[in-house]
Structure 1
Amino acid sequence: MHEWDVKLEKMELHLQASMRRTDIDMWIIMSREFNLDPMLQMFGDYGISGWYGHRNAYIFFDPGNNLPLERTLLGTHQSGRMREFFPTIISYGQEGLKPHLADFIKDRNPKKIAINRSRTVSMADGITVEMLAFLEDAIGPVYSSRLISSQDLIFDYISHRTVAELEIETEASHRTWYILRRAFSNEVVTPGKTRLMDIYGFILQEWQNQDLEFNFAPGITIYRKGVKGGIDDTKNPLVEAGDILHVDFGVRLMGLVTDQQHVAYVLHPNETEPPDGLKTLFKKSVIVGDIYAEELKAGKIGVKVKATIEKRSAKQGIKASIYGHTQGNWVHGAGARTVFDWPDRYGDFAREPIRANEFWSIEYSVQGKVPEWDNQMVRIPREEDAVIKSDGSRARFLIGPQ
């Protein structure tokens, strides 16, 4: 199965139903060469979408009743394989896209036309100023008055995962897990000899060896007794016995991504396990992760879930900070986030409800004083891949947790 087969199945199973749930009868994705709309990756993308053309309109129209979804591409420079996604492809010559677009809309008389325009949701904001002006000029003032944001449609559509998507996300999660497990092992790390960027290089080489696609580069940090905060890669420090190693990394497999954070303690020669204070703090992080998974219930609002988890943790004497998010097609996905209600940064994500079957990044940290480190305040960052159960009752870890 290829990536586009997975996306085609998703479209055929869920797109028309998503349009009906969000009361949209037409969705137009306007795009052009070198400035692609991010949602096009869901409808072809790698390998079959051609050059995207000078100006193209990718249109979904629901005629209602029991009729199937119309999928039409008005544009140029398209691979014939795109007919799997858009059975009707209408090209144009010197007359341009405008008359074809105008006639198509007039013939169908849609009541609500979704376009990818959103103040705070980037994957729902692919239309440019000039492409919007072009569209409005082509369809005229009556139909322009029916334009609405595709944001709710995109949230709904992305959340409806297929069996194939779950299998791919699970495989990607397992691969990420074992790359990081090896990176933080004696195979790679020798105290006093290994530098931070040696670990970085091992992780990059591993995802290349496994033919995984790039998601984001590993961020590696050292937490050390007597040092406030973390030590990053600026000076490429040596790993020393007694260090806590932390990494944030994810891969991309067949269009789906992971996002994990792992931690490890570097033993002193006379140690067989970490100091009790660090073990206690790590156990607290495990407790918070379990609470987090329990509270990710379909219908709950992201910002409220954050508050609930932090309150439940505090009752157990744990200082936790919660900042997770949906993931899947993007590392910060199209859906709820358990974050502050900070409009300028998180916009509508913080106020979105959690949905069944969403892929999630359970991301958080705990803090506490460690007696063996002279009561130094130590932070343990955690992040695990998860999915909301199909009944919406809670989240399930795809692997682990650590």
Structure 2
Amino acid sequence: MKCRLLTAIVILAAGSLGAQSRPPGAAGAAPERPFGTLREQAEIRQQWLKERLETVLPRLMREHGVHMWVVAMREYNEDPVFKALVSPTTFFARRRTIYVFFDRGPELGVERIALGGTSQGGLYQAVRETELAPDGRPRELWGKAQWDLLARVIRERNPRNIAVNISHTHAFSDGLSAGEWEQMQEALGPDLLRRVVRAERLPLDYLAIHVESMDSIYRQMQELVHEIIATAFSNQVITPGVTTTEDVVWWMRQRVNDLGLSTWFQPSVSVQRRGVNMADSTAPVILRGDVLHCDFGITALGLNTDTQHMGYVLREGETEPPAGLKRALANANRLQDIVLAEMRPGRTGNEVLASALARMRAEGINGTVYTHPIGDYGHGAGPLIGLWDRQDGVPGRGDVPLLPGTWHSIELQATTPVPEWNNQPVRMALEEEAELTPEGTMRWVLRRQSEFHLVR
């Protein structure tokens, strides 16, 4: 009996993510390690980094006319682009780290220099002082000498321009701290300072674009997210009249933790109830007839997801949700169709928003669109397509064009009167990851929700 119980637990833990969904090299992964061991994950992420540095970065530097890019930071005050420039075994900058990227042309490629820190697995030329420490090892760069070396590196290469990460609009392009900038100015002097430019799109686009080898892992992440939500919005977790929304939230959070993964925000679960305003309710008990909503995301292999699904708790005698609720969900699905159809390479977020909302209104749907990029960050780099409270466009952040090879979290809501609820408006808020492919077409990373999760 004890042996059978243990076997059942192991099988249940494996869920639907079997061996076929594990990354290459993870054949020996335990059931509770859906993406393999940390070591296996690090090997995959290192390959992604190499591809991005060797293929994505050179192309972007040339597209944006950047001859040299300098990214300077100190430990615990890292530039937002840091995580996309370093190996998965590097968690923070080393003392002060200055990365220099110099474009030597298509034949020689982009030279990558680390003034401080390591070579990141051989991907950078790591420079240290010639002076030796008492134990005979070269000293690490420190203080003014590090800035002086930066100036020398720049003068030796004589770039046409020097891009730095300063921006009033994009957080991802504003990673150079005031203290580092002041010291950099002093080291470079007036002649080199005249070459300094703010190339806001370079770090923004570098973070936004993923390499195709990431796609299979990202799809597996979506599979896991859908699996967790399906279980959370079922009788395995919810007992009507007993379970609270907070119980479900913490079950989801714990499930992710048990899988050796993490979340980038606290999950949420909310309720809409016939004839009751639940807006100010705190951790209500879930009852039969309730409409459920969750907002949930995971972090794995340095990538993030963001998903919102709807559920319904069947009343006694019901076998499916009322027709009015299904129609409300269909309206939200239709709004998803409209948004995806309007997302094309080169269009700005604000252009997509305006055209999508015009089509939505023409079809009689009452909704809002607040779609965002996703990937290295949950609210990622790239164009915003609306904010929930800014449906007339987002100046600056919404003026960025859509790029092929990017992921977007299609976040929106449609509100529909439901006849079975005395025409009470019911909000269907959905969120699902989609990709603008390298070929320029939109597709769901996995699939979208088109039917309610049911608690029986």
The equivalent of 2:336 in structure 1 is 289
Q: Is 1:274 aligned to 2:321, yes or no?
A: yes
Question: Unaligned 5+ residue runs, structure 1?
Answer: none
Please identify the structure whose Cα radius of gyration is greater. Answer: 2
- 57, 75, 89: which is aligned to 1:47? 89
- 8 Å CA contact 1:56–1:97 kept in 2: the answer is no
The alignment partner of 2:166 has SS state of coil
Report 1:165-184 matches (<5 A). Answer: 165-184=214-233
Equivalent in the alignment of 1:246: 293
Q: Normalising by structure 2, what TM-score?
A: 0.82
Aligned to 1:87: 125
> Are 2:348 and 1:348 aligned?
no
- Which residue among 95, 102, 114 is the counterpart of 1:73? 114
Residue 388 of structure 1: how far off its partner (Å)? 0.8
- Counterpart for residue 153 of structure 1: 202
* Over 4 Å off, 4+ runs: 340-343
The answer to whether the 8 Å contact 1:8/1:43 transfers is no
Equivalent residue letter for 1:89: V
- Any residues of structure 2 matched to 1:301-380 within 5 Å, and which? 301-339=348-386, 346-380=394-428
How far 1:271 moved relative to its partner?
1.0
After the TM superposition, which of the residue ranges 286-295 and 87-96 deviates more from structure 2? 87-96
Map 1:180-259 onto structure 2 (within 5 A): 180-228=229-277, 230=279, 234=282, 236-259=283-306
- Post-superposition offset of 1:229: 5.4
| Larger displacement relative to structure 2 (8-17 or 142-151) | 142-151
Identity of aligned residues (%): 31
Of 159, 179, 187, the match for 1:138: 187
The letter of the residue matching 1:61 is F
Quote the Cα distance in structure 2 between the aligned partners of 1:238 and 1:44: 46
Return closer, same or farther for 1:123/1:155 CA change in 2, 3 Å cut-off: closer
Quote how far apart the aligned CAs of 1:209 are.
1.9
Kindly indicate whether the alpha-carbon contact (under 8 Å) linking 2:350 and 2:394 is maintained by their aligned counterparts in 1: no
TM-score (norm 1): 0.92
Deviation string 1:198-227 (CA, Å, 9 cap, x unpaired) is 101110111112222332120211111123
- For 1:258, the aligned partner's letter is T
Matched, 1:56 2:97: yes
Distance 1:54 1:48, change over 3 A: closer
Alpha-carbon offset, residue 351 of structure 1: 0.7
Letter matched to residue 281 of structure 1: A
* 1:336-362: CA deviation from partner (whole Å, max 9, x where unpaired): 11116969x955220111111210101
- The C-alpha deviation readout for 1:95-128, integer Å capped at 9, x for no partner, is 6312111111111121221111111211111111
| AA aligned opposite 1:31 | M
Q: Is the 2:416–2:427 Cα contact (8 Å) retained in structure 1?
A: yes
Could you say if the C-alpha distance between residues 94 and 266 of structure 1 is closer, same or farther in structure 2, counting changes exceeding 3 Å? closer
Contact conserved, 1:8 with 1:84, CA < 8 A, in 2?
no
* Cα distance in 2 between the residues matched to 1:230 and 1:168: 37
2:96–2:142 Cα contact (<8 Å) kept: no
